[in-house]
Amino acid sequence: MPIIPRLNEPQTSDSSDHRFPPDPESDAIRMSAVHPSRRSCLIAILVTAIMGGWVFSENPVPGQTQTVAPGKEKDSERQLQRFMRKKMDASNEILEGLCTDNLPQIAKAARQLHEMSAAEEWQVQNDVIYKQFSQEFRQITADLVKAADEKNLDRSLLKWMDATMSCVDCHRFVRGARIADRQSGQ
């Protein structure tokens, strides 16, 4: 029966050791193992990139009718785009803080997102479901601030994943509402 080295066991060059030279299969396993915090950062980067694509691929104001003057509509669109960019910048700051173990940076950016979620520009729809999404996001960002203030990186990462999923779910809902508005002629 072959001896299988443990991942954290040092390799020895003792000629009586049956594991030297190391088994190529065990090297492949060892090399494919990614540190959990790096894996989490990679997942967070991927989710943030996807979320950013969804944010900027959408029309700015769901359910907006053409009763707004064309010049004012463009101003409103630009204002919302700037607001969305600020949200993405804060999100990127949180992600960077998670990847570099910079808890003060995480807390500062999470506070910024929490404050932004109360801004008028955040309220792109006026229905109960959207308000529920916003309320949940505010609770998650408050929890994220608390975790970062308590110097709990793991909890901060989990709360950031919750915040990201909340964003994706809400954007999915808003897109569905826009489609329904267009189909109903609004």
Residues 6+ away with beta carbon under 8 Å from 145: 107, 110, 111, 114
Instruction: Please report, rounded to a whole number, the percentage of residues in the chain having pLDDT higher than 70.
Output: 60
**What secondary structure letter does DSSP report for 127?**
S
* Residue 28 within a domain: no
With respect to residue 16, please indicate whether it lies within any of the assigned structural domains: no
Is the pLDDT score of 171 beyond 80?
yes
Is residue 17 a part of any domain in this protein?
Answer: no
Please give the pLDDT value at position 55: 46
139 within a domain of the structure (yes/no):
yes
The CATH number linked to 110 is 1.20.120.10
pLDDT in tens, 83-101: 889 999 999 999 999 999 9
Q: How many domains does the chain have?
A: 1
**Measured between alpha carbons, how far is 69 from 152 in angstroms, rounded to an integer?**
49
Candidate ranges 47-51, 69-73, 130-134, 177-181; pick with highest mean pLDDT: 130-134
55 domain-assigned: yes
Q: Is 140 within the bounds of a domain?
A: yes
Q: Does residue 122 lie in a domain region?
A: yes
| Whole-number Å distance between alpha carbons of 48 and 92 | 8
Can you give the residue range of the structural domain that contains 159? 34-183
Kindly state the DSSP code that residue 120 receives in the 8-state scheme.
G
Residues with Cβ within 8 Å of residue 13, at least 6 apart in sequence = 20
Count Cβ atoms below 10 Å from residue 82 Cβ, excluding itself: 10
57 in a domain, yes or no?
yes
Cβ-contact 94, 108 below 8 angstroms: no
pLDDT at 177: 84
Tokens representing 149 are: 């203030």
Q: What is the structure's pLDDT at 3?
A: 55
Q: How far is CA 169 from CA 16, 164, 174, 175, 184, in A?
A: 58, 9, 9, 10, 23
Specify the residue for token string 């608390």. 146
pLDDT > 90? residue 9? no
